Amino acid sequence: MHGEIGIIARFGLLSGLIEQEIIYIKEKEICCNGYGCYCDNLHKVDCKNGLTIIAIGWIMGNKKGISNNYSNTILEKVYNITKI
């Protein structure tokens, strides 16, 4: 799959996130206080090995989006998509 839909599909397969969770992490504000904060924003840690850890902390029904590791390359592509 090519284009933005291909990026979203690959990111979904690699991360295990559903569409609503991908939209959530894309649109949710990122906390500027650091990882240990208890605010409602996303908490993101950029690792030196090319991965990013995002503490999602979003609950939808019985599913909890807690945290995950993402490749910086594909995460950057997801953030550059104008609308999912």
Contacts with Zn ion by CB under 5 A lie at 31, 33, 37, 39
User: Which distant-in-sequence residues (6+ apart) come within 8 Å of 74 by Cβ?
Assistant: 7, 10, 11, 14
Whose Cβ is closer to Zn ion: residue 18's or residue 37's?
Answer: 37
Smallest gap from Cβ 46 to Zn ion, in A, equals: 15
The rounded distance, in Å, linking the Cα atoms of 18 and 40 is 20
Smallest gap from Cβ 73 to Zn ion, in A, equals: 25
Whose Cβ is closer to Zn ion: residue 37's or residue 45's?
Answer: 37
